Amino acid sequence: MEFGGVYTLTEILENPLTKQTNSVNARVDMIVDMARYADEIGIDIFGIGEHHRLDYAVSSPQMMLSAISQTTTDIKLTALTSLLNTTDPVRLFEDFATLDLLSKGRAEITAGRGAFVESFPLFGYDERKYDQLFDEHLDLLLQLNQQERIIWKGNLRPALTHAEIAPPRPFQTKLPISIGVGGTMESAIRAGKKGCGLTVVMIGGIARSISL
């Protein structure tokens, strides 16, 4: 039996009891403790958000999840979500393949587009190509998950010609890949057409407005 998941966006907020705001260091420690406790009580999956803002504690979920993998035994680990439109798919795959080895097969990729746009100028991407970047990066990521040598050509990054995707390969035969969506039918259809899992992410709003 599965008992659902626990997810944190890693926001840095004022403690309502003490009226103090946690330091980033304290928030990071709190997240690791949260994951360890979730594992102990049998929660199925733990997810960490990726943000590139001063009011969030984690910009690299992969690093956090690697640390968590060494203090847990059963819980699955994912980023919620990996910002695929501003992340190099090769690097993302290699990071999660490494995490999968460290965790003995507990890593999953949840690819999304994010609720903020700070990562576009930060990493040198054109925000006007928001959808185009996501689609192209997703296609490459899915191919990386299938094979060790890649022949691939897109429009927004250099082509790969018989490129060797450096070890490690994942502990699992393939990494589970799902698409994180905010409730739009188009995103759900994309996940289905690509053969990906679907993770519905609602940060706020009215539940009945979701069009799935």
**Domain positions in the chain:** 5-209
Q: Which residues contact 119 (CB under 8 A, 6 or more apart)?
A: 52, 83, 86, 125
Residues of the chain scoring pLDDT < 70:
1-3, 183, 202-212
Tell me, yes or no, if the pTM score tops 0.85: yes
- The pLDDT of residue 37 is 97
pLDDT in tens, 155-175: 999 999 999 887 789 999 999
> Which uninterrupted H or E stretch holds 108?
strand 107-112
Would you call 132 exposed, middle or buried from its count of C-beta atoms within 10 A (0-12, 13-18, 19+)? middle
Contact indicator for 64, 25 with CB cutoff of 8 Å:
no
* pLDDT for position 12: 93
77's tokens: 């680990």
pLDDT of residue 182: 76
Question: In one letter, which amino acid is 86?
Answer: T
Instruction: List, for residues 7-33, the tens digit of each pLDDT value.
Output: 999 999 888 888 899 899 999 999 999
What pLDDT score does 151 carry? 95
As assigned by CATH, the class of the 5-209 domain is alpha beta
The tokens describing 144, both together, are 């990386």
